[in-house]
Amino acid sequence: MTYLAKPKFHHPALPKNEHGFTHRDYEGSISTLCAGCGHDSISAAIIQACFELNIEPHRLAKLSGIGCSSKTPDYFLGQSHGFNSVHGRMPSVLTGANLANKQLIYLGVSGDGDSASIGLGQFMHCVRRSVNMLYVTENNGVYGLTKGQFSATADRGSTSKAGGTNNDSALDLVGLALQIGATFVARSFSGDKKQLVPLLMAGLSHPGPAFIDVVSPCVAFNNHAGSTKSFEFVRAHNEAVNRLDFMDAREPITVDYEPGTSTEVALHDGSKLRLAKLHGDYDPHNRIAAMNYLQSRAAAGELVTGLIYLDDNPRDMHSMLNTVDVPLNGLGEKELCPGSATLDKINASLR
């Protein structure tokens, strides 16, 4: 890590988005992670995604648990409220925050220790409850802050830096998210910003439970031969099922693909996704097929990335709870308190 802050001033011609913010306005504190950490690339991708999506920073709340990945919300979106909560428990805090104000964008940032081990239950239930959020795991297969223990996403047979072999089966968060009702599921790689940024943009725009698992190598403890979460291994085994471009509703489509190799997906807010098919007949709208494909490629030692599943009819916890349109945190005694006359009636019914 560096301890030298970037100067605040910047080139006057730095591009601004429609709210007048430059990408610098989406930055946060200086990262305290190791130089070369995959997580810092993800932070950079989040900054770019939010800038390009024209998100007003204060309309987004970023929440995390505990661990290297969970530290990162401090390193992006300095103008957003952030909450670094308890190990493995970010999903419940995010759920509560979302209940209080349905009008903000919620970004949950977690890791494989935080979400696949101590927080597996909360991760599952939060997705199951259809909380409108983008949930990102920065997945490196290792406990970094405690110096190199295997996490639950480490593949069986992979080795630790200290030389041990992992004998336990790996948990696949993407597979679980598909099973329990996430309506947007993707996987990406911290080293592939071109793939990651549009996925983040699409995930942030998705009005339902969106999940992106980002394989993010740990340069300090899990980037050696024998690791299946190293830069080298992921690059060699990455099987992207599609390439995707996120297009703002107003933006002209600029990327051209060969006819027949791409499809457009209209999103709820009017924006569009253009999917370049890299694998002939892969259909991201078929959940069961997606699960099968994931399993079969995993058996072949490949890591499927890209937009794996998208439900065109996303669900949201609030619509199931039938909450009022305004945020609950804005209601006062006038709207909430039944008053003394009603209480008199209640008293009368209790005699």
Partner 1 sequence: MSKPIKATNDFVVKFANVNGSGSASANELFARAILRMGVPIATRNIFPSNIQGLPTWFEVRVSGQGWVGRRGGCDIVVAMNPQTWDKDIASIDPGGYLFYDSSKPMPESKFRSDVNVIGMPLTEICNRTYSDPRQRQLFKNIIYVGALTSILDMELPAVEKLISDQYGSKPALLESNIRAVRMGHEYAQEHLSGICNLRVAKADAVGDRIFLNGNDAAGLGCVYGGATVAAWYPITPSTSLAEAFMKYCRKYRVDPETKKNKFAIIQAEDEISAIGAVIGASWNGARAFTATSGPGISLMQEFLGLAYFAEIPAVIFNVQRGGPSTGMPTRTQQADILLCAYASHGDTKHVMLFPEDPRELFEMGASAFDLAERLQTPIFVMEDLDIGMNDWLCEPLTWDESRVYDRGKIMSAEDLDAGKTFGRYLDVDGDAIAYRTLPGTHATKGAYFTRGSSRDRFAKYSEDGSVYVDNMQRLLRKFETAKSLAPAPVVHKAREKARYGAIYFGSTSAAMAEARASLEGLGLHLDTLRIRAFPFADEVVEFINSYDQVFVIEQNRDAQMRMLLVNECAIDPARFISVLHYDGTPITARFITSAIAERLHMKAKEAAE
Which residues contact partner 1 by CB under 8 A? 19, 29, 56-59, 61, 63, 73-74, 78-86, 89, 91-101, 103-104, 121-122, 125, 129, 318, 321-325, 328-333, 335-340, 342-344, 346-347, 350-351
In angstroms, give the least distance from the CB of 145 to partner 1.
12
Residue (98 or 228) nearer to partner 1, CB: 98
In angstroms, give the least distance from the CB of 70 to partner 1.
10
In angstroms, give the least distance from the CB of 284 to partner 1.
29
In angstroms, give the least distance from the CB of 218 to partner 1.
21
Residue (165 or 342) nearer to partner 1, CB: 342
**What one-character-per-residue DSSP string does 34-67 give?**
PTT-HHHHHHHHHHHHHHHTT--GGGEEEEE-SS
The 10 Å Cβ neighbour count of residue 176 is 20
Report long-range pairs for 153-162 (Cβ below 8 Å, ≥24 apart).
153/112, 153/116, 153/229, 154/228, 154/229, 155/228, 158/226, 158/227, 158/228, 158/229, 159/224, 159/226, 159/227, 160/221, 160/222, 161/221, 161/222, 161/224, 161/227
Sign of CA dihedral 163, 164, 167, 170: negative
The edge-to-edge listing of strands for the beta sheet with 262-266 is 242-247, 272-277, 262-266
- Residue 270: which region, alpha, beta or left (left: phi > 0; alpha: psi -120 to 50)? left
Rounded Cα distance between 61 and 81, Å, is: 5
Largest CA distance in the chain: 78
Residue 298 phi, psi (nearest 5): -60, -40
Among the listed residues 150, 141, 144, the one whose alpha carbon sits nearest the alpha carbon of residue 32: 144
In angstroms, give the least distance from the CB of 335 to partner 1.
6
In angstroms, give the least distance from the CB of 86 to partner 1.
5
Residue (171 or 265) nearer to partner 1, CB: 171
Contact predicate 34/219, CB 8 Å:
yes
Residue (121 or 157) nearer to partner 1, CB: 121
Residue (215 or 317) nearer to partner 1, CB: 317
In angstroms, give the least distance from the CB of 78 to partner 1.
7
Residue (15 or 121) nearer to partner 1, CB: 121
Residue (24 or 161) nearer to partner 1, CB: 24
In angstroms, give the least distance from the CB of 209 to partner 1.
15
In angstroms, give the least distance from the CB of 36 to partner 1.
22
Residue (126 or 186) nearer to partner 1, CB: 126
What residues contact 82, with CB distance under 8 A and at least 6 apart? Answer: 61, 62, 63, 64, 73, 74
Residue (171 or 289) nearer to partner 1, CB: 171
Among the listed residues 214, 229, 30, the one whose alpha carbon sits nearest the alpha carbon of residue 111: 214
